[in-house]
Each structure stands twice: as structure tokens, then as C-alpha cells.
Amino acid sequence: QVQLVESGGGLVQAGDSLRLSCEASGFTFSNYVMGWFRQAPGKEREFVAAISWRGARTYYTDSVKGRFTIIRDNTRNTVYLRMNSLKPADTAVYFCAAKRNPPIDSGSSYEYWGQGTQVTVAS
């Protein structure tokens, strides 16, 4: 049974940092591209970041470049999203997802999804 379980969300002030975690099970984690998406109220889901199988390549949407970092630990079947200098515009439910194949700069073809974790950034 495939599971992606996100954690680490919460309520923070603008300028603060958070680290989201996503623990995977039920599939061969190291064979999958991992991505983070977010969805704010009333908005479409947005592709935020992705990381290749072994972590050598990463992708970030422009609005988070320089502030967010995606890393993965294949020994722990976990992908992380480190978020610095948070802004109210980052408020959303954050989802992790997995897909078998590249490209990592595309938000399409993700097969497995987590339930999401809420991030709220107060001004």
C-alpha cells in the first residue's frame, strides 16, 4: 500500500522558517522523482519543487527560488522541503507527490500523492 505522509506544517510569522517532511512507503522510493505542490484557498494547485532520484538535480518554481530547498534521504524514504523567509503568499496546503520518470521540471505525471499539511504564514 502506497503512502505519502506529510508533516511539519503550522502557523508561523512572516520571515520565519519551516521544514516539511514527507515519508514514503509502499514503493521503491529511490526510483521515484519526488515533488512538492501547494494549493491556496480558491487557487489552483501549484508545482513548487522537485528532486531527481538521487537528489542530484532539483527544480523550483520562480516564486520560491532562493528561499526553499528540497532534499531527499533515500535511506529514510523521506523528502524534505526547507522553507525560509516565509511570506503570507506561501500560505497553502502543501502536498508531496511521486512519479516514476523525469522530467523534474514538469508538474505532470505524478502518480502518488499525500494528504497535505497546512502552512499558514501570518503577516
Mean pLDDT for each 10-residue chunk of the chain (123 residues)?
97 98 98 98 96 97 98 98 98 98 92 98 96
Residue 22's pLDDT is what?
98
Amino acid in the structure at residue 98: A
Task: Kindly state the DSSP code that residue 31 receives in the 8-state scheme.
Answer: G
Residue-level pLDDT at 6? 98
Q: What is the SS3 assignment for 64?
A: helix
H helices present in 29-115, as ranges: none
> Residue 65 and residue 28: Cα distance in Å, rounded?
28
Fill in the DSSP letter of residue 27. Answer: S
Helix (H) / strand (E) containing 70:
strand 68-73
- At 85 the pLDDT is 98
Q: Are strands 117-122 and 10-13 parallel, antiparallel or unpaired?
A: parallel
Report residue 95 as a C-alpha cell: 502536498
